[in-house]
Chains A and B, each alone.
Chain A
């Protein structure tokens, strides 16, 4: 019984982190048609900054907001430097631009803070919430709770105000959007800032319950990408469902004894699922866009 219970509990922080990441990915995708492969880096850098600030003596209560703000700044900067100049080329080129950003941020973090894993400061108090014989740390529970807050906040902001519509319009038809009084550039930047802020929240919380490593944390965005993809890449509820599937798979599959011995079986399952989703959603007709270059 306790064995069965412990794995869903282990899934909770994963679901929390993936959900926040994939929501951010969807927000950015909807506003700029770019797949932000640097999303994990926007989580990793703030996590390191928070660690540095706390080590310098700043209380977590102050360091956390600064860290989150740095994520927003990072989001703005990545869009401005790596994505916007490539807009005239193609969405794929912009995505390659985020690859460059990812590489640079990971390399810089490795240079500044070292490439080895480090323990990050806790955001939530130590200790755990006990259910029967198994328990879940306050950090993991906190991450899941924060995810719910972030999701609700994004939902209210994007679905209930005009902001979300403006962002989508900016991506779908910038000229029409600007005729309607929406500054498409501002809307795109806002989406990236939003993505950066939320990624930073997830990054700081995830680092505090796992380990802080430039590459590992940056690549946590890959499962989130799978989640966003399962959810349809353009839908916020879809991203949540996708994150639940991905997080639960990664948490639960090791509990199934037949799969326990096969390393990476969860990833294999998710990859098959993602490929299946893509194959079934694939377009029947060939595209009719003309592209100049390779990207």
Chain B
């Protein structure tokens, strides 16, 4: 980041100069100016699709319908109420957000291809029904709906292409700025988490429904504003501008841009507008314009999936230094503009450079926002964003505080050797263990300790199969409970009942003294339950650091509006989140891996990252789904010692596991399942000698001398 500093004024200056001087350049004709304004329209739609499809993974084949709603609403507020251009942007945005949110209500029920069809049907209905109604098109003929002058405003004449150029591009720059803020905030991380794995997102307390609806509304607002730009630019609007093919064309722009990059979206918009200008001017190309978007879409899909957004990185790889010196300066313009705005406020995120794309920055507007009276700001957390509501029933574990305390008392030699990276994992773990905090006073007898999970008589049926039959178990505070059983014993089914992935036909699940049997996964997570997955559910294309950062969701009180404008509450929360991640990474020795991309890491490290993610969430209760599967014996031993450390930090653990030796070595208490029913329970020593358990693992008729299960499954 510090390397960027000298460049910053240069980039800002060049970018502003390019944008401000463009309409006055000698070669910029009336027609080129029109295309530049068209590019602004495309850019806003493309940004809208980047948010929805690129970041949240919700494909939309119906954006033209939303854009059309924005355009017609603009026409109506102009004609009916005399609301003129810059102001009617808000109306168009609100209308777009509303329509998209309604579409989103369908989207939260369906996904993938069904969502594609739903949005396509929306686009089809908009063309065949909505934009053919006289009350929508203003009683004009079917093909042209003429409205009054949408572009008049005191002192400004937005019917002038030059004036409109500035207004339109200011809108695009503002939208890109706000969306970049959103991307780098808690909201953005929730977006990526939902895109990557809905169940993992929910297990970190992210409400999948809220996240999707937010994304639809945000995307719809931008699309509605794009419709506003269209009608103000053209002064008239025809239903033909919003046909189904147009929706597909919009998707083509976004895909060509790289689909998840704001800069790429704007670049693709400029590319498509330039091409239309070019094809219009060159005689021999005229008529071939329609072929270009599908051709570019095909080329990007099949040959260069990163799209335009991937070009800078590719050039940098190819040309190295000279590229950085010249082109990089220009291409990083967007970032620099934001960063230089950020520099205007003294309160900054921690000086350490976070992984790319996650830095929280202060905006000017954000600073103003923070100067509003407290009650007004309080309102933001109640907006339908992602922040605010965190009904945590039990105190969330202040892991950062605990670890900070430990660090302060850490013996110097252990600290230094860890810093040199010369110690083995075991030594460091031993180091932490030696620093064990004074334990809270716990009742000596297990029965007297507070139960955190109480499963009573849970029965789960899948069709005719009873996967779990009248299972009861209890996990008490400050212990490691192992749940074992042969394949098909119902371990995972029981585990899922606790996690919220199935609803039992009978029985009750209580967590922290609450009946959560009917609660969703994210509601349970908000109660203070973290988990890991047997099949790794990390975001493969993000760094370890960014993956862990997602888990700070529930500890981050900042609201949606604060995310948009990077208020100080956002910054404060981001600083705390980064600190939390670094501390947990230090505990699990993941510091060296923080900047690595998850997809490049070996399996054993990924298991640790998942455990780290559960720890980062601060959940006082963590469920581990076969944490040792896929680990070799050294890694398994290390995992076991880490689990003990974690327990001693005050975290209660429930694990299901195939590796019997591992479970027996680490558990304080065990439950054994077979054929969906509870076979045995007790301390590892008791369970290991239970003849029923031995029979279940080694077959019927237990031999007299097989009095121990140690070694089975190791």
Contact = CB atoms under 8 A, between A and B. Distances in A.
Nearest to B538: A290
A86 B121 contact: no
B294 A294 contact: no
Interface stretch (B179-187, B192-200, B588-596): B192-200
Contacts of B291: 104, 107-108, 111
A294 B197 contact: no
Interface string B196-225: 111110100000100000000000000000
A274 B294 CA distance: 28
B390 interface: no
Interface in A194-251: 215, 219, 222, 225-226, 229, 233
Contact of B121 (A99, A102, A222): A222
Contact of A274 (B108, B121, B245, B302): B121
Interface centre among B117, B122, B287, B536 (most CB of A within 10 A): B117
Nearest to B290: A107
A110 interface: yes
B293 to A, nearest CB: 6
B197 A229 contact: no
A294 B195 contact: yes
Contacts of B243: 215
B112 A91 contact: yes
A145 interface: no
Given A103-B294, A107-B294, A222-B121, A295 B106 contact: no
Interface centre among B198, B200, B502, B521 (most CB of A within 10 A): B198
A279 interface: yes
B27 interface: no
A35 B116 contact: yes
Interface residues of B, number: 67
Contacts of B295: 104, 107
Interface residues of A, number: 60
Interface string B89-119: 0000000000000000010111111101110
Interface string B30-62: 000000000000000000000001110101010
Contact of B199 (A35, A90, A110, A286): A286
A92 B113 contact: yes
Given A100-B294, A222-B121, A93 B301 contact: yes
A262 to B, nearest CB: 7
Interface centre among B244, B255, B301, B302 (most CB of A within 10 A): B301
Interface string B279-306: 0000000011011011101100110010
B581 to A, nearest CB: 21
B132 interface: yes
Interface stretch (A116-124, A148-156, A264-272): A264-272
B305 A89 contact: yes
B109 A282 contact: yes
A262 B136 CA distance: 12
A82 B298 contact: yes
A90 B57 CA distance: 11
A263 B133 contact: yes
Given A35-B113, A100-B294, A285-B501, A292 B540 contact: yes
A114 B188 CA distance: 46
A295 to B, nearest CB: 7
A288 B197 contact: yes
Contacts of B521: 286
Given A82-B298, A111-B291, A278-B106, A289 B57 contact: no
Contact of B129 (A107, A233, A265): A265
A96 B59 contact: yes
A122 to B, nearest CB: 28
A89 B540 CA distance: 13
A271 B301 contact: no
A87 to B, nearest CB: 12
B301 to A, nearest CB: 6
A251 to B, nearest CB: 15
A95 interface: yes
Given A103-B248, A264-B132, A267-B125, A289 B288 contact: no
Nearest to B521: A286
A23 interface: no
Interface string B218-249: 00000000000000000000000001110011
B116 A267 contact: no
A225 B120 contact: yes
Given A271-B125, A286-B208, A279 B109 contact: yes
Contact of A95 (B54, B116, B124, B535): B116
A262 B294 CA distance: 34
The 5 nearest A-B residue pairs measured at CB = A103-B294, A282-B109, A264-B129, A267-B128, A271-B125
16 contacts: A37-B61, A85-B302, A92-B59, A99-B297, A103-B248, A104-B294, A111-B287, A111-B291, A229-B121, A264-B129, A271-B129, A274-B121, A279-B106, A286-B198, A286-B521, A293-B305
Given A100-B301, A106-B290, A215-B245, 12 more contacts: A86-B302, A103-B252, A104-B298, A106-B245, A111-B290, A233-B113, A268-B128, A271-B121, A282-B110, A287-B198, A290-B540, A291-B196
